Structure 1
């Protein structure tokens, strides 16, 4: 089981089809099961079994398992995963494509499939990722866990933090983040002309479902995320006052670029309200303010 938040498995083990690109080591699946599966006859489920790693782990550990994949006819974007299972899962494992890092349908298996996440444009991939995660959430029993193993990638000089995207959109409470170091990557043998930090990790994000459904939870998570990352009026005004004092007219001018993003038609009144907080602001003259010492 996981002893800390960083794991390394130099040997992938005899799990799944080692010729199936993107097939992760079964050791992390086994540790995931040992850490989060409740005692008893629990069910491990996987909607994207790929090369069969999760099913091999379940067989070796002697636990109940139900899994499927797009190449087996199950579409996580159109089919209800809970109905496929016929019961709620205690534990769900999902190892989705890292966007278009590896193309699956038409290359790893079968013909090109329009529902294949690895063939979608980025905006469509993001929406599909959220839809798939909601489907997984609702297939998990309240109190159960689902883990999503996701890596990041570079494309044309841009860094895409897909693991943070998963954390942002998943409709449940994040309980653990396991950083998995990567070994024997194709990029290890490549030489780059520019200075580049090679991506040598993936993240297993573990979520616990409560008794709420995905539609309720995703709305709640979105509100929480917006509140966490939204720049507050107080922080913005404190920034423009760092190292200086300003009149209200000067504050209005400095705050206008921020104010136009807030859709607040009475933003000047908001500025006047905020600077009345004596914990952070000091009035040095009529209509003139600086940061509190």
Structure 2
């Protein structure tokens, strides 16, 4: 197994008629590489993982919403005889394929927990983090949890979910990201015009569970967000000073930041943005005159 995966045919495992089905070769590669004694799939779908593990003689537990297991509400570990060595997911990518509409299951009570029924990318990501944290808790310390996720383009917006997935889980647990070429997709038969770039790949993201508690994970993620916010303010001010030739007054910087499109979300999220600018300038930049700041030497 390496960081580039390509399987021109999906193999004989599972049901090829199940839309969005994962290639059995992904599961085979994971099993042969990590040699798990117990493999768990929390989005089993048509049973591809089950068939691969049966063929390879690996203990297996397969969960899925259409079977009544809901990782947004149910504790995955509670369905297992012991913690998983590898816990895998291949979730629906938002509303790209709506599974109750293509006949895979039809139960109105389950629609609220179905990732293919999400109304927005933010809702999908919130459910996704629950899924990944649930997988992590179902995995033994030193074991691996993994997900196969693609990008999504919808209504003119492009979402790279793999970047979000990596950002929402413990940074020091990430061990690999493999790029998987997609073959035999419905979109392959379409003709595209202009500068449109079709999506032809997915990402296999693999983490190794550490001994961190859920509290430690939460504290670490909060600290990372604070660090990134500090970077953003610092870099916005750095760009504003660069635009002014390396030196500018406080009032000039206020005006420049207000006009920067990339700064709008920072301003909306922080009602005291002028105070934040002053604080960042005092901490990271050089004051060269009364109310005038420059790039640090």
User: Normalising TM by the smaller chain, what interval?
Assistant: 0.7 to 0.9
What are the superposed Cα offsets for residues 25-48 of structure 1, whole Å, 9 maximum, x if unpaired? 11111111222235xxx2111111
Secondary structure of the 1:128 match is: helix
1:120 matched residue in structure 2: 118
> Given the alignment of the two structures, is residue 32 of structure 1 paired with residue 36 of structure 2, yes or no?
no
Task: Give me the whole-angstrom Cα distance separating, in 2, the residues matched to 1:215 and 1:109.
Answer: 37
Query: 1:253: Cα distance to partner?
Result: 4.4
Residue 198 to residue 288, structure 1, CA distance change in 2 (3 Å): same
Query: 1:154: Cα distance to partner?
Result: 1.2
Secondary structure of the 2:140 match is: strand
> Given the alignment of the two structures, is residue 227 of structure 1 paired with residue 224 of structure 2, yes or no?
no
Residue 45 to residue 267, structure 1, CA distance change in 2 (3 Å): closer
Q: 8 Å contact 1:174–1:207 — kept in the other structure? A: yes
> Given the alignment of the two structures, is residue 174 of structure 1 paired with residue 169 of structure 2, yes or no?
no
Give TM-score, length-normalised by structure 2: 0.84
> Given the alignment of the two structures, is residue 68 of structure 1 paired with residue 97 of structure 2, yes or no?
no
Residue 63 to residue 232, structure 1, CA distance change in 2 (3 Å): same
Residue 64 to residue 197, structure 1, CA distance change in 2 (3 Å): same
2:195 matched residue in structure 1: 195
Q: 8 Å contact 1:245–1:291 — kept in the other structure? A: yes
Task: Give me the whole-angstrom Cα distance separating, in 1, the residues matched to 2:128 and 2:281.
Answer: 43
Task: Give me the whole-angstrom Cα distance separating, in 1, the residues matched to 2:98 and 2:156.
Answer: 20
2:131 matched residue in structure 1: 132
Deviates more, 1:217-226 or 1:70-79: 217-226
Query: 1:212: Cα distance to partner?
Result: 2.6
Residue 62 to residue 268, structure 1, CA distance change in 2 (3 Å): closer
What are the superposed Cα offsets for residues 44-92 of structure 1, whole Å, 9 maximum, x if unpaired? 1111111111111111211111112111121112211101013111111
Query: 1:268: Cα distance to partner?
Result: 6.2
Q: 8 Å contact 1:48–1:95 — kept in the other structure? A: yes
Q: 8 Å contact 1:150–1:202 — kept in the other structure? A: yes
Q: 8 Å contact 2:241–2:248 — kept in the other structure? A: yes
Q: Over aligned residues, Cα RMSD in angstroms? A: 2.6
Q: How many residues align?
A: 283
Q: Which runs of 5+ in 2 are unaligned?
A: none
Q: 8 Å contact 2:88–2:135 — kept in the other structure? A: no
1:270 matched residue in structure 2: 279
Q: Which runs of 5+ in 1 are unaligned?
A: none
What are the superposed Cα offsets for residues 142-168 of structure 1, whole Å, 9 maximum, x if unpaired? 111111000112112211222222222
Structure with higher helix content = 2
Q: 8 Å contact 1:77–1:128 — kept in the other structure? A: yes
Task: Give me the whole-angstrom Cα distance separating, in 1, the residues matched to 2:223 and 2:124.
Answer: 22
Task: Give me the whole-angstrom Cα distance separating, in 2, the residues matched to 1:157 and 1:252.
Answer: 32
Task: Give me the whole-angstrom Cα distance separating, in 2, the residues matched to 1:272 and 1:176.
Answer: 38
Task: Give me the whole-angstrom Cα distance separating, in 1, the residues matched to 2:126 and 2:290.
Answer: 51
